[in-house]
A and B are shown apart, each in its own frame.
Chain A
Amino acid sequence: MIPTMKSIPALATLLIAAIPSLSVAETLRVIGSTTVNPVVAEAAEVLREEAGLTIRVDTAGGSSGGIHALGAGRSDIAMSSRPITEADRERYPSVRFDSHRAGEDALALIVSHDVWQGGVRAIDREQMQAIYERKTTNWKSLGGPDRRIAFFNKEPGRGSWEVFADWLYGKAENSPPVAHPEVGANEEARTKVAATRGAVSQLSASWVDGETIHALAITGDDGQPVEPTHEHITDGSYPLNRTLWLITDGPPQGAAKRLIDFIQSPRGHEIVKKHGYLPPM
C-alpha cells in the first residue's frame, strides 16, 4: 500500500510508538583510562568472539571520567590508573566502589629525543617540582641542552596526573594552581612530546618507544637513579608505580564479572603483559 498524505500523522505516531521495541541487546559499558584501555579492548574482543558478549569500551575523560561515569550510573565498569579516593566516595555516597586489580604499571616522565641526546637521563622530585612551578625553564640547569622546557601537563583528572601530583606534592590536592599546555589521551602525549623540541610530560612507561620519546630515571633520596623497568616496578623501588584498576558498583555480576575474571585469569595476564604492563601482584 502506498501511504496517502492523510495517513502521514498516523504513520508518524506508529513510528514513534515503535522506537522502544527496537532497543538493542544489553551492552556492558566500560569507560575510563586510556592506559587500561588496550587491555580491556582486547579482552572484550576475545569475549565477544567466544561468549557473544557485547562490550563497549570508551576512554572519554580518562580515569576520573570513568569513575564519575560509574558514579552517575552511566557505565558498568570504570577503568582507572588511580585508586578510588575519599573525594570520590563523598561525591557518590550511594555507590559501593569495588576495585579489582588489572595490572601494574609505571608512570614515566618522558622527554623528547633532543633532551635525551642532550644528556638529561634522570630527574629528582625537587627538579620536577621546579619545572612544574615554572621555576626551572631551561634544560641547561638540568645538565641538558640550552633549550626552553616545554612541559605538557596531563589533564588534571587523568589518572596519570593524579599519580604524578600525589608523588610531587604528597597529595594531589596540595598541588599549586599552575597553568601548562595540556595533553589528554596517551596517544596525544606520545605524539606531541615526540614532535616538540625540549618536551617533557607524564606517560605510562609501556608507551615509551625509546626512539622518539625516552623515559627518565628518577633519582631517589639516596642519589641512585631508578629506571621505570618491570624489575623496579616489581621490587617497588621506582616511586611512580601504580596499579591499574577495574572498578564496579558493588561486587561485579554477569558480563562485568566475566570480563574482570577473564582479565585476572592466566590468559588475561598474557594480554596485560603483551601491552607492556605487569599482571597484578
Chain B
Amino acid sequence: MHALPHGRLTWQKRRPPDAVVFTCLAAAALFLALLGFTLILWVREAWPAIRAHGGEMLTSGEWFYRHQHFGALAMIYGSAVVSLLALLLAAPVAFATAIFISEWLPHTLRPWAKAAVEFLAAIPSVIYGLLGIMFLRTWMADWLAPFDPLSGDMLLTAAVLLAVMILPTVTTFAEDSLRAVPAAQRLAARGLALNRTQTIHRIVLPQAWPGMIGAALLGLGRGLGETIAVFLIIGRLDNRLPESLLDPAPLIEPGQTLTSKLGGPETHIAMGDPLHWGAILTLGLILLVLTTLFVSLGNLLLRKNPAHP
C-alpha cells in the first residue's frame, strides 16, 4: 500500500483556512455562480425561440424576422467558412514564424520577436476592421476583378482579415509548444550529428505537433468569436446558402456570420419580442457551443505537449 502523503495531510488538519485560502475560495465560488447565473439567464431568454423554432434554426437558411422565419444555417455556414479559411491562410505562416523564432532566432532576439508578435494580438479588432474597410475591401475587389465580384464585401475578404488577426495568437501558442520540447533533446540530436533542419524535422516537430494543432484550434475559436472587424467587411447579406459546401462561388459574395448578425441593429429591434429576442440569443448559444468545442479541444492538445506530461 502506498504511504499516505503525511506532511500534506497534517498541514490540512492543523491549520484552518486562512484569509488567502478563504478569499480564493470565495472568488472561485463567485466566478462559478456568475457563470451559472449567466448561462441560466441566457438559456431562459432563448427558450421561447428554441421551443418554437429550435429545429428550424439549425436546418433552415431563411431568416426574415418580420415573417417569423429564424433559420440560422446560412450564418453557421458563414461563420464556419470564414474562420476555417482564415485558419487555412494563417496556420502555415504562423507555424513557419513560430519555428523560425523558436529554432533559428538567437536567444537575445527571441523575447523581442515574441513581444512584437504579441503586440499584434493586442491591437483592438475595430482597428483591423477599419483598415479592412479602407484598404482590404478595395484591394480584394481589384484583385478579384476577373471574377466580377459585386463589391469588396465578401466572405473571402473577411477570411483574409481574420487570418491576419488570428496570426499572432496561433504563432505565439505554436512557438510556446515548440519551446516546450526540452533543449537537452536538441543537444542530443546535435551529438548524433543531425543538422538543424533534421533536428526540427525528426525531434522537435513530432513532439510539438499536438500543441501546434492546439494553437490552431485556439486561433479558430478566436476567429469564430470575432465580431466587429468581420461585421464591417462581410457585407451582412442574409440567407445565402450555397448549393454545395464545396462550391467556391459564395466566397466572393457577401454573407453573414453568427457574430455579424449579433453585432447588427437587430439585437436592438428584437428586445421586447420574446420570440425574436430568443432567436437572437439562440444564435449566441450556437456560437458558444462551437467556440467552446474548438477552444477545449485546443487546450486539450496544448496540454499534451512534453513540458506537461
Contacts and interface: CB of A to CB of B under 8 A. Distances in A.
Interface in B205-261: 232, 235-240, 254
A118 interface: no
A267 interface: no
A68 B269 contact: yes
A10 to B, nearest CB: 9
B263 to A, nearest CB: 9
Contact of B273 (A4, A91, A177, A197): A91
Interface string A194-212: 0111110000000000000
Interface string A57-76: 00011101100110110000
Interface stretch (A45-53, A149-157, A245-253): A149-157
A75 to B, nearest CB: 11
Interface stretch (A22-30, A123-131, A178-186, A221-229): A178-186
B271 A72 contact: yes
B272 A71 contact: yes
A68 to B, nearest CB: 5
Contact of A64 (B67, B137, B235, B265): B265
Interface string A161-181: 000000000000100010111
Contacts of B137: 192, 195
Nearest to A10: B19
B268 A157 contact: yes
Interface stretch (B48-56, B147-155, B166-174): B147-155
Given A5-B19, A192-B151, A158 B141 contact: no
A62 B267 CA distance: 11
A72 B269 CA distance: 11
B143 interface: no
A155 B19 CA distance: 54
B22 interface: yes
Contacts of A152: 151
A62 B26 CA distance: 42
Name which of A8, A62, A198 has the most chain B CB atoms within 10 A of its CB: A8
A91 B272 contact: yes
A155 B260 CA distance: 12
Contact of A68 (B67, B236, B239, B268): B268
A195 B273 contact: no
Interface in B4-46: 18-20, 22-23, 26
B269 A61 contact: yes
B130 to A, nearest CB: 10
Contacts of B240: 179
B138 interface: yes
Name which of B66, B150, B267 has the most chain A CB atoms within 10 A of its CB: B150
A122 B155 CA distance: 33
Interface in B125-158: 133, 137-138, 141, 148, 150-153
Given A157-B265, A177-B64, A177-B67, A92 B272 contact: yes
Interface residues on A, range: 35 or more
Nearest to B234: A181
B272 A155 contact: no
A179 to B, nearest CB: 4
Contacts of B267: 61
Contacts of A179: 237-240
A281 interface: no
Contacts of A5: 18-20
A1 interface: no
Interface in A108-152: 148, 150, 152
Contacts of B133: 188, 191-192
A155 to B, nearest CB: 5
B264 interface: yes
A12 interface: yes
Given A9-B23, A180-B237, A157 B153 contact: no
Contacts of A85: none
Contact of A173 (B26, B66, B138): B66
Interface of A: 4-9, 12, 60-62, 64-65, 68-69, 71-72, 91-92, 148, 150, 152, 155-158, 173, 177, 179-184, 188, 191-192, 195-199
Given A157-B268, A179-B238, 13 more contacts: A9-B19, A60-B268, A62-B265, A64-B268, A72-B271, A150-B151, A156-B266, A157-B266, A177-B66, A177-B67, A182-B235, A182-B264, A198-B150
10 closest Cβ pairs, A-B complex: A61-B268, A65-B268, A181-B235, A181-B254, A196-B151, A6-B19, A61-B265, A182-B236, A177-B64, A179-B239
20 contacts: A8-B20, A9-B26, A12-B26, A61-B265, A61-B267, A62-B268, A64-B268, A68-B269, A72-B271, A92-B272, A150-B151, A177-B67, A179-B238, A181-B153, A181-B237, A182-B235, A192-B133, A192-B153, A195-B137, A199-B151
